[in-house]
Amino acid sequence: MILHSPALHFVSWRPFNWDACDCTVEFRRSTSSTLGSYSHGLKFGLERVLAGQSKSGTFLCTDQRQAQNPPTGKRRVHRQNVDLPPIQSKKKKKPFPIPLKKITEAARADKKLAQMGVEKPLIPPKNGLIVPKLVPVAYDVLDAWKIVIKGVSQLLHVIPVHACSECTEVFVGQASHYIQDCQGATSAARRNFHSWVKGSINDVLLPIESYHLFDPFGPRVTHETRFDYDRIPALVELCIQAGVDIPGYPSRRRTVPIRMLGKKVIDRGGPVEPPEQSCSPHAAASILEFDTYRTHERFSSPLESEVPGTAQKTIEAYERVKIGLKKLMKKYTVKACGYCSEVHVGPWGHNAKLCGEFKHQWRDGKHGWQDAIIDEVLPPNYVWHVEDPKGPPLRTSLKRFYGKAPAVVELCFQAGARIPTKYKPMMRIDIVVPDKEETSLAA
């Protein structure tokens, strides 16, 4: 059944194969939204066009675009190829995760309230109080983080990791790749080939540390007092401030909120002296569970039958860590330097003059603090994906056909784990890598 539409466009068309058919075809295209919703609204009024007869006919072809009012619900599109986030230039500051316009508007509103003598309205945890519903999330993040550290340490006994001694390139697999993309100091003498050495867990889980603060709303860390504070993983420090109690690393739990007038804290609830640091073996062992220090010695190699199960537990725990971090970072403030990899957990960044990146002389070595994103607290550290670990090594000529994945995901994949669907497009699993001789023929 063909619906009649008042708006039809007529255009003459002649086939391209003039020897096969000598005819004139009239093309009618509808622009109505009713016909546009049909995907098979094509009627041939021409019979035996290619049979060598000279006949005239009409084509009625409806527009295959969707209707103006599409049905509700999102359509899931399966992608084969997704590019990774672009690498930011080290000669520029990182983009702000929050638009600069919103930052300036919020600053002007705070300044206006301060000039009027009105205190800044604060809600937990911005006022120093913890959020009770996020305490279980923080404990779950630390439990999953321990599983990730243990799993990666055990898998490193089975799947080797290679690291370049001249640049930051990391490769997961039995044999290193031959892709010429080294940016090290002596790369020109090696024709941009990497100088591979044996990697460690710190090449898979990049260590991002932060100062541990007993009172995040207390005095800032200065350049002279920076050695008075311990450095622990930023992920662990965030969970401590969210309500996790770890022996040896106390944190102030306020019952009375702080008061602020603009950017100035007018009431911190009185000074509280931090308890003395405990040097007991129990306190040292508690923080060692969340650190990657000497994990190769602490965890032995799993049995061959246990490798796929260990890899699956590791990738699931890794996803739990990322989901929990997103929930915590929506409430608790985490700052990151816009020029280097320094991260600070707390409402304000520290004042230690340790930044040595682009134009640090203009800032006297101070960091350019801005809101952090999850990839700065838990860097994914993308590595080349190897579809067949026992196949030929990766080469520069086929570079554009290879995919990438976070180092943890690639390590678990080669150990036999099932990869989450969201990583498959960036790993380009559905793309067939051509042979070396077929490179020039591939699109």
pLDDT in tens, 11-24: 444 443 444 444 44
Distance from C-alpha of 371 to C-alpha of 209, rounded to nearest angstrom: 16
Res 155: pLDDT: 95
Phi, psi of 16 (to 5 degrees): -75, -30
> Residue 41 above 50 pLDDT?
no
> Residue 48 above 70 pLDDT?
no
Which has more pLDDT, 148 or 288? 148
Q: Can you tell me the mean pLDDT for 332-342?
A: 95
Q: Can you tell me the mean pLDDT for 164-174?
A: 92
Res 235: pLDDT: 95
Res 86: pLDDT: 82
State how far the alpha carbon of 369 is from the alpha carbons of 160, 337, 347, in Å: 37, 5, 11
Contact 314, 420 (CB under 8 A): no
pLDDT in tens, 349-365: 999 999 999 989 999 99
Res 74: pLDDT: 53
> pLDDT over 70 for what percent of the chain?
79
Phi, psi of 20 (to 5 degrees): -80, -30
Res 439: pLDDT: 64
> Residue 29 above 90 pLDDT?
no
Res 282: pLDDT: 61
State how far the alpha carbon of 227 is from the alpha carbons of 78, 221, 231, 368, 433, in Å: 51, 9, 9, 21, 52
3-state helix, strand, coil in the chain (%, to 5): 30, 15, 55
Strand partners, 405: 383
Res 75: pLDDT: 56
Residue type, position 264, single letter: K
Strand intervals (E) in 207-247: 209-211, 231-233
**pLDDT-based confidence at residue 374 (cuts at 50, 70, 90):** very high
pLDDT in tens, 88-143: 888 889 999 999 999 999 999 999 999 998 988 899 999 999 999 999 999 999 99
Nearest in space to 235 (alpha carbons), one of 197, 195, 207 = 207
Distance from C-alpha of 311 to C-alpha of 152, rounded to nearest angstrom: 8
Res 6: pLDDT: 44
Average of per-residue pLDDT values in the chain: 81
pLDDT in tens, 57-70: 444 444 444 444 44
Nearest in space to 176 (alpha carbons), one of 164, 188, 187 = 164
**pLDDT-based confidence at residue 248 (cuts at 50, 70, 90):** confident
Residue type, position 138, single letter: A
